[in-house]
Amino acid sequence: MLNSSRRLLAVSAVSTALCAGPALAEITPTLNINGTTGLIDMPSGDAQDDATFSFSTTLVGPITRSTLSFQITERLSASFRFQTLRDWDTLFPDDPSSDDQRNMDIRYQILKESQYVPAVTIGLVDFLGDGGFSSEYIAATKTFKEKVKVTAGLGWGRLGSYGSIGSLFGDRPPLENTEVGKPNSDQWFRGDFAPFAGVEYKINDRWTFKGEYSSDAYELEDETRGIIDRKSPLNFGFEYQRGPYARYGFYALHGSEIGLTFHLILNPKTRATGGVMGPAPSPVMSRPARSSDPEAFDTGWVTQPDAGPLLRTNLAKRLAVDGIVIENLAYTASTVQIRVRNTRIDAGSQAIGRTARALSQVMPASVEVFEIVPVSRGIGASKVTIRRSDLEQLEFAADNSSLLRERVELSDAGPVPENAIGSEGLYPRFGWSLRPSLTMNEPLRGAVRLRLSASYDIRPGLVLSGSISTRILGNGEKLTGSSTGALPPVRSDGKAYTENGNPAVENLTLAWFARPAADIYSRVSFGYLERMHAGISGEVLWKPVESKLALGAELNYTKQRDTDGGFGFDEYDYDVVTGHVSAYYEFGGGFVGQLDVGRYLAGDVGATVSLDRIFANGWSVGAFATVTDVSAEDFGPGSFDKGVRFTIPLNWAIGTEGQRTFGTTLRPASGDGGARLNVDGRLYDVIREFHSGALDSEWGRVWR
């Protein structure tokens, strides 16, 4: 029963499995109908637990809101919201404001709650929008007797539109069309401001009552559109907490409306299932003391002609249980180097630990040094050197993972030893899969497709791969292109690519991955690189194993493909040379920054800055922004490219071993400026898992 619930978690975020769990014993920060920490419609001074990732959906009259929020640090959080106003397209078909609204919020908790001090948060709502939803606030929240939370605050912009008590820094200027999509800093905390307040009362571990006085006049929905009749600033409601993941809300809003909301609350730091289910590790095989059995340490075995094949066969059998494949094996009387490919375990450190255990059980007693080289895309990513005596000594020691890490050496993988014994039958290698996939061109707009993927490894590092898909269902017909015509439609024709081509060849490439020198990695990819573009892509990366910094360069020549999903090219015969120089830096705590400078698909030149928080269990949440020499007018709605992205490993939810993930990128607006080629196998992602930053974050799994 428990295992079934865990598996359902990966299938549906709103399934019963998510709702099952222990009752919460404390009054925790809650979310409002906008998907951000707050009361009902108003914000609060609270902050979610560090790394909390939430998805919220709300229905209020004709309004549907869907929000993704992420607690970036203990104090800083951000949200991406997609709002659909269902009736406006019918009532006002010629009004551009009837379009779906996408906006981003950011908030920072300047004070944490203590015995006498409330939690205080300052926030910006829709700070990159068109002004219709933008607002700023300062909110303070205090908890009393672990049952009651009281919030009071001041709001500007939309949150200062009802019950104003004054103004600050002069009038609030309107946004010009060329400013839409840029940070509207000229408006921040200017113009009328109004108070708001509210209370939360925790009835029991499941139920919470909320009431608030709202400072949002809903002028756009009430006075301008008439789709909501706002009769009162008072909102009331009850929320029901179903386990640690799911929360439901039922509200009486504006004196005229009923609101319903659902929050899915996840924390990437902890697994929904408590852990990953897989085969238990084999014990470390301890050698006898040299003094008691000196013959066990005899080195004569090295000269035996069948020693290598026999050792490789025995190791392969033990490692196959964990989905680890031997690429090469080389040895001397005292040292063994094994190159392995991990096909199932999601943590590089655990794969290294399982390999070391197998070596301890198979290698003769004279072998003291284990050199484990994880192989990714056919190239050695690093070399992990472990002394066998350390394994024997520390297996049952307290804090054994930290003690082992202090003694382990990480270094460049180096070349394959000349005396290495390759595993027979590994190459050429064919693999395939048939799975459903989700293609999203805009938030809540896209298609579910059935994808057939295949790969043919000709030799280590040389891979022929491709995929073909057909649409099962979707709502792509509702997509709206954002091209203004000033730029080539390198991305804004996404609707045509989503709708046309059943089936469609998504990609078909020949890729060569190599390691031309120490700390240097290279990739060349040729063919139909992605759904919209074909050509050739080359990349080189410098990344020492222990370095936080990596530097790379990429050069591409592409032609835009036809929308029908075949092998032809578009009628405009558009081709372009693009390229970037890139810098990557690991700041610690899982934060990885990236700077790309160069030329993009539309021929524009600029830079992209991104920041991702990568967790040891495979979760990744990040944001990016691109500014190029394209004017805001030529770019179209949004002024410049920016967005948020996330990746969720499926084993986080289902609790079984595997490396499959689900992820997507969300943008407030999509234009052709700042568009970059989507090519598989970029080098930093290929090798990072086995370098110090990633290995150290998950090193605790080396003994599992």
Please check whether residue 696 lies inside any domain of the structure: no
DSSP calls for 501-541: -SSEEEEEEEEEEEEEETTEEEEEEEEE-SSSEEEEEEEEE
Q: What is the DSSP letter of 361?
A: H
Please check whether residue 275 lies inside any domain of the structure: no
pLDDT at 643: 87
Same domain, 81 and 205: yes
pLDDT at 84: 81
What type of residue is 36?
T
Cβ-based neighbour number of residue 317 at 10 Å? 11
The residue out of 266, 282, 303 marking a domain boundary is 266
Please check whether residue 257 lies inside any domain of the structure: yes
Helices 348-362 & 307-320, crossing angle to 10 degrees? 140
Same domain, 404 and 516: no
**CATH assignment of the domain containing 668:** 2.40.160
Q: Are 348 and 690 in contact (CB under 8 A)?
A: yes
> To which residue do tokens 């081709």 refer?
575
Q: How many domains does the chain have?
A: 3
**Residue/partner pairs of 91-99 with CB below 8 Å, 24 or more apart:** 91/225, 91/227, 92/225, 97/132, 97/220, 99/480
Between CA 511 and CA 221 the distance in angstroms is: 53
Number of alpha carbons in the 13 Å side-chain half-sphere of residue 552: 27
pLDDT at 662: 82
Same domain, 308 and 397: yes
Which residues make beta-bridge pairs with 329? Answer: 338, 421
Same domain, 37 and 163: yes
Between CA 150 and CA 201 the distance in angstroms is: 9
pLDDT at 18: 34
Strand, helix or coil at 437?
A: strand
Same domain, 244 and 300: no
Same domain, 248 and 154: yes
Same domain, 217 and 328: no
Same domain, 189 and 315: no
Same domain, 506 and 419: no
Between CA 525 and CA 444 the distance in angstroms is: 32
Between CA 645 and CA 408 the distance in angstroms is: 34
- Percent of the chain scored above 70 by pLDDT? 88
Between CA 233 and CA 552 the distance in angstroms is: 55
Please check whether residue 11 lies inside any domain of the structure: no
**Dihedral of the CA atoms 130, 135, 136, 137 (nearest 10)?**
-160
Whose CA is closest to 50, among 35, 29, 34?
29
Q: Are 84 and 475 in contact (CB under 8 A)?
A: no
Q: Are 556 and 490 in contact (CB under 8 A)?
A: no
Same domain, 178 and 306: no
Same domain, 237 and 304: no
Which phi and psi (to 5°) does residue 149 adopt? -125, 130
Please check whether residue 433 lies inside any domain of the structure: no
Q: CA–CA distance from 153 to each of 27, 46, 48, 159, 193 (Å)? A: 20, 12, 18, 10, 10
Rounded to the nearest 5 percent, the helix, strand and coil shares of the chain are 15, 45, 40
**CATH assignment of the domain containing 411:** 3.30.300
Whose CA is closest to 580, among 664, 682, 667, 462?
682
Q: Are 34 and 81 in contact (CB under 8 A)?
A: yes
Give exposure, 623-639, as e/b (b: 16+ Cβ within 10 Å). Answer: bbbbbbebebebbbbbb
Please check whether residue 494 lies inside any domain of the structure: yes
Which phi and psi (to 5°) does residue 633 adopt? -65, -45
Please check whether residue 120 lies inside any domain of the structure: yes
pTM of the model: 0.88
Same domain, 134 and 252: yes
Between CA 470 and CA 452 the distance in angstroms is: 9
For the chain, which ranges sit under pLDDT 50?
A: 1-25, 88-98, 480-482
Domain encompassing residue 68: 19-266
Please check whether residue 444 lies inside any domain of the structure: no
